[in-house]
Structure formats: C-alpha cells, structure tokens
Amino acid sequence: MKIVITMYKIGDIRERGIQMEKLQQSMYKLIVETSTRLPKDVRRAVARAKASESAGTRAAMSLSTITNNISMADVNVSPICQDTGLPTFKVKTPVGVNQLKIKAAIREAIVEATKDGKLRPNSVDSLTGKNSGDNLGEGVPVIKFEQWEKDYIDVRLILKGGGCENKNIQYSLPCELEGLGRAGRDLDGIRKCIMHSVYQAQGQGCSAGFIGVGIGGDRTSGYELAKEQLFRSVEDENPNEDLRKLEEYVMENANKLGIGTMGFGGETTLLGCKVGVMHRIPASFFVSVAYNCWAYRRLGVTLDAESGDIKDWLYQDGEEIDFSKEQEEVEVKSETREVVLQAPITEEQIRELKVGDVVKINGRMFTGRDAIHKHLSENDAPVDLDGQIIYHCGPVMLKDEDGNWHVKAAGPTTSIREEPYQGDIMKKFGIRAVIGKGGMGPKTLAALKEHGGVYLNAIGGAAQYYADCIKSVDGVDLMEFGIPEAMWHLSVEGFTAVVTMDSHGNSLHEDVDKSSLEKLEQFKERVFA
C-alpha cells in the first residue's frame, strides 16, 4: 500500500520572522477597527432609520445621539459601545496553514487591544467571578476555524455585547406564543417565532437591532447558524427564495410593532433580518434567534497567507455615511419637559418628575452593576449614597502615567439584571435615581413609588457620547470586582437621559410592551402556506 504525503507551501506561516509579527499587527488592526468604527452597510441602515423617524420624538433624539456617538468614536478611535462583548472570530485558511499560530497571534492582539483601551476586559471566571483583566480565559476569545481551497486567509470578527446577547432566544416547534397563538412546524410557524423574538427583546437589546435566525439543527448548531447569519452583509439577498420572502416580510412588519429605538416607541425597531436553514432530526424543530444591537460591530479582512498582511477589508463596499456632517441638537416635542438635576437629589425633586421628562444631570454619580448590587444587598456601602445616583455602567478605563484614571467609553448596561436587588438597595441607602437602559420590572417600580425614586433611560451603546459628559474620575471602590464591575465615582455635566419610570407608578416600558403586544396580535393569521 502506497501512502502519499502532500506538503503544502501556500500559507505556511513560520514561527519566526516578519510573518508572525505582521499577522499579529493585522489582527490588532481588525480588532481596533471593529470596536471603534461601524462598517458601511450598518451605517447606511442607521441612516435610513434616522431619515424615517418622526421629527421631535424621543426616538429621533435617540437616533441623533446614536449617530453623534458613531462620529465621536471615529474621531476618538475609541469603542463605540463600552461593552465590547466576547470577541468571536471566524477564520478560513488554506489547507496546510498552521492554525495554532493564527490562534496565538489573535490572543496576543486581544491582550494588546485590551491594554490600549480598545476592548473592555470582559473575561470572567464563571466559578470565582474573577476578571482575567486581559480578555483571555478558558474558551475566550472564541475562534472558529474552517479550511478552504483558496490561497488566502479570511478572518471575520464580531463584538456582540451582553445586552443583546441576553435577548437571544430559541423556540421549539410546535409552541404557543403570546399574542400569536400556535406556531406549527412550517414556514408560517417560523414566521411567528421571528416576530415574537423582536417583540420580546423590546428595548433591552439596544433597539433598533439586527437579527440572525437559524432554522433546524440541534440546540447548539441552531444557535451557531443564527449567529453565522450576523456575518452576512445587511444588504445581501438570500439565495433561497422562501427565506428571501421571509426576510422581507419580517423587515416590513416588525417595524409596525411600535417598539422603536431604545424601546421608546417609534417607526424603526429592526434594522436587518437574515435567515439560514439546516437539516434537523424528526423529533426536534428549533428556531434560534441571535439578536444584535444597533452597534453592529462586525468586520473582516483577507490576509496574504505567507506574509500575514491585510489584502482587503470586508463589509466596506458602497457609500460611506459621514455622520459628522449632519450633527444637530434634536429637540423633543414641546410637551416634553427638560429638567436639570444636581446631585445629591431630594425626594421632592424626584416626585416632580414624570415619565417622558428629559433630564440633564450635573454633579456626582456612582457606577454599579451586578457585583456591586449583590455586594450592597449584603454589606454597607463604601460611600454615602443618600440622595445619590447609581449608573448601571461598566466603563472602559485607562490609567495614565501619573496614576489617574480616564474614561474611554461609558454607555449604560441593561438594567433588568438588577431587578432582584434594585428597590431594596434604593430604600436601604437612600438612592434617588438609577440610570440604565431597557427599563426594570414591577418590584423596582413599586419601590420607586414607595421610596420616591426614578429610573432614567440613557441611550444604549452611546459610550462616546456619555464619556464626553464625564469630566473627571474622582475615585473608585471595590476594584477587586474588576474594572467593569467596580464602583467608579464620576463627575458629570449635561448627562442626558429620559424618565421612563417615575415615582407615581408610571412606566413607559410597560406601556410600550402592552401596545406592541396588541400590535403583534394582528400577525396571528397565516401568511405562508
């Protein structure tokens, strides 16, 4: 028996010399560009949403803040959103390329980008809660390799934050769906699942968003297929005619739900829908949906397989939208009040606020996320929080040569995770306001009414806009929880947010949820045979 061994020269990336150095540099450039600059297809989708929104609304104000933030990230070369997610790479290599070396180069580039403040340290030990500080850890970053017969390397990266990741959802058909009734094992049942997935996300995933849908597979491969759809271009056309019609249907009708940007209500709820399909076993029929926020940070490059140099950038075809040329202050309708608050805040000031008021904050606020809320529920606070503001935020921070901290990105995180703690903590420490995104639940709403508190919704993903409002970092406590989870003391000016839950029992989030559910019910009848 004759055994033939073929030696491949194409793409032979050597251990020493300029090849590995160049490859690492190329991966660093990809990471920085993905984190700080939205691709052209996504910018065009955001521009279309802004053009379609009714002038003078909270949604229009939010979209103006978003486009301003995109422009600021371009100029500052800083993260568009402070939650740079779990970096996920898709790598296609010629046969014979040493994938271990590519993985090593990616990991080194991740460490460098984290050190430079282009990524937030997001890798946390699931058992101990300890943050590695460099975005490395067991299974992090995610790198998926595939071989192909072309003579170059294709690397694609997506940075998908936790707020939108937590709104992923998977359906097992047949099932009963709120507002839509029974979804069967057919194209129409799939349609209902996709529409429901947009409804259930509300504003918590930083709408307006994008969705990738995977039909079939098992629970794992179905989600992988859904996420794979997010690597498609926003403006491509599905080659499968049935799926093309389904994508068009969803894009036309999901925006009739009235959820809008940040869940404030409005004309645009969904910016893109991409659907893929794979085979399944007879007993299982899964529809998996991967939700992505408006800050759709997905880019790619092709690399010379021998030198590691970047040959081409992907997702950068077509018109470039320069949002810096069209920035303006968007005022909301005259019936909406604008109120300036100076911390510390009194109960009397809070009781005067109503849902819909636009608040501009000056003075001090303190960040607090999951670890802080758990800590405060069991311990004393490290500072006096009476009359103060808690900001649900895990900023990107860098320390200068003199040991002073500077904020590089500081948008809000999704607040609903703090629902078990928030009301009790506000009453325990006298906190008067919390800032976050996506709203909170009935326990917090009841506490706001009883205690005299307010929930303020900041614009999700607007990390550069809000970093610009932070004039100094005056201290930090509980750094043992890691940079994102520590309690940072921030001095702010003109920090803008919208009252969406007040001390009178009113909640914009409840209102939008109820009205969008009523609108969802109109899509109950069969559409696809």
pLDDT in tens, 215-264: 999 999 999 999 999 999 999 999 999 999 999 999 999 999 999 999 99
Q: E strand or H helix at 366, and its extent?
A: strand 358-367
Name the residue type at position 155: V
The answer to whether residues 166 and 414 touch, using CB atoms and an 8 Å cutoff, is: yes
Picking from 50-59, 284-293, 425-434, which range would have the lowest pLDDT averaged per residue? 50-59
Q: Looking at residue 20, what is its pLDDT?
A: 85
Burial of 136 (0-12, 13-18, 19+ CB in 10 A): middle
The answer to whether residues 88 and 227 touch, using CB atoms and an 8 Å cutoff, is: yes
Q: Which residues sit opposite 140 in a β-bridge?
A: 137
DSSP letter for 237, please: -
The angle at the Cα of 496, spanning 495 to 502, to the nearest 5 degrees, equals: 115
Tokens at 83, concatenated: 């939650």
What Cα–Cα distance (Å) separates residue 81 from each residue in 78, 372, 487? Answer: 9, 21, 19
The answer to whether residues 196 and 179 touch, using CB atoms and an 8 Å cutoff, is: yes
Q: At a CB cut-off of 8 Å and minimum separation 6, what does 496 contact?
A: 65, 358, 359, 360, 361, 458, 469
Model confidence at 330: pLDDT above 70 = no
The angle at the Cα of 205, spanning 203 to 206, to the nearest 5 degrees, equals: 70
Q: Looking at residue 67, what is its pLDDT?
A: 96
Q: pLDDT band for position 324 (50/70/90)?
A: confident
The answer to whether residues 91 and 150 touch, using CB atoms and an 8 Å cutoff, is: no
Q: pLDDT band for position 85 (50/70/90)?
A: very high
The predicted-structure confidence for 125-146, as pLDDT tens digits, reads as follows 999 999 999 999 999 999 999 9
The predicted-structure confidence for 283-308, as pLDDT tens digits, reads as follows 999 999 999 999 999 999 999 999 99
DSSP conformation letters of 394-425: --EEEE-TTS-EEEEE-PPPBGGGGTTTHHHH
- By 3-state DSSP, what share of the chain in percent is helix, strand and coil, each rounded to 5? 35, 25, 40
